Structure 1
């Protein structure tokens, strides 16, 4: 059995500097109602009157109705335009894996004296929509670039490229976890110590981390602490988080400290640049969820993928 050793108190301030690797939450079974197509025009524009179409062919072979992307308007040299493409109800993210997106141009002359329009496309990107008001970006499904990526002409009128859905969060690695602890109606006394420990599914127990550095956490307060993880730890490797309390008296006038914990939430870091959302691995609560005393000094919380 691996012996638990607390990280020295002097190291606690350094945890704030632990690099936080962002995790984009991806659930293949999530319903997707639309995707956003972003097209960058290069050094030869899409002429006004010419029409750009977008078509999606789902993984099951269904071809959705083609969508006019530009409304017949010009897309100038060097411009970037984003258009929403609706999807049928019930479309899942997994349905887009190996699906196809086709960009098509109808550049036939609209006026006497015009020739067929030539259009340089420097980038085609497709993503699920970002979530308004949240630090969360959409899942990138297509990202193709070039100078140009493709030149659409009378001889070549379309460009087709496959979708590729991001991997499930299970195989994603994380460099740290963030633990938020809500104290209820009985505080964590100054001098008492709260420890956090992560156990992996292979049985390895990571060194326990001093969460409060001996400082008191007042009634009805909330604190968030970062726990570092070994290099290349995958989310599927994580098994449990243990909250441990050492409330032994520090002087002759004290009794053992009692601490009401109303909530524990364990997540991967949430980072806004680049925009990604954290993955919640545990979120438990009660009034209290657990009361830590001299008789019950710890609580184990299972970590589960969404």
Structure 2
């Protein structure tokens, strides 16, 4: 404590700067503390803003091309019996074909080309698909089928019937079909030979055999085996190619296994009826070649009280007695 007023005044003057400095120091310290506290509070109060990066996703339209796979239809192999088959089932098939008068040299139990042609003939006669195989449906039909009927019942005697539509030949004796043969007739296609062109057809009508050549004959349009000519240059002849459809230039092709017996069974004068063929002249309208055959002699015996006449054949020509001309419904008598 000051002793005197003067002393207190002097102490006041002396202490005033010190107090001011101390006050400034305190204020400074307080300011720093407040600033620090405010900073700390700001860090707690102020939310942290994270920058959200805007991402734009661009999706390209993808065009997908779907390729439809090509559908391949594989036909299942036909079942049943066919070329190369053998055994009891084939033997039974052959025996049935023979019983129905389809031409077959023998029943051997082996399915060969001759059996195939006989099956073709059966399928043609019965309006079935021409596969040449004895499938289940063919065997079923065969079990109930009968011998085919003649197409020209009024013709009588021994004659030949060719059905262009069904591609078969009937050898008829006494009004009964003795043999059924698969054939191939005129294809209907246009063809040319030596500057002349025509259409391959087998004309319909009634004819007679007028010329024969035994063995192979070389023609302008190919080889013919033992042809029997009945309409100009059209003949029934053997061939190495007998498809189930029309394929010839106009002739009636028959299998080689049928050619020899047909040649012998069709002497000159035999009536030949071609059904379902076009009513047109034969291609080129050429005449049949001169008859050249070595067929055995043909003997005709007349009734009791009449003379018997026999005609023999030479090495180059033969003459046979022609069957009587018979009119048939819708078909003229053979010429």
Tell me, yes or no, whether TM beats 0.5.
no
- Structure number with the higher strand fraction is 1
TM-score (norm 2): 0.18
Tell me: higher relative CO, structure 1 or 2? Use CA pairs within 8 A at least 6 residues apart: 1
The structure whose residues are more often helix, as a share, is: 2
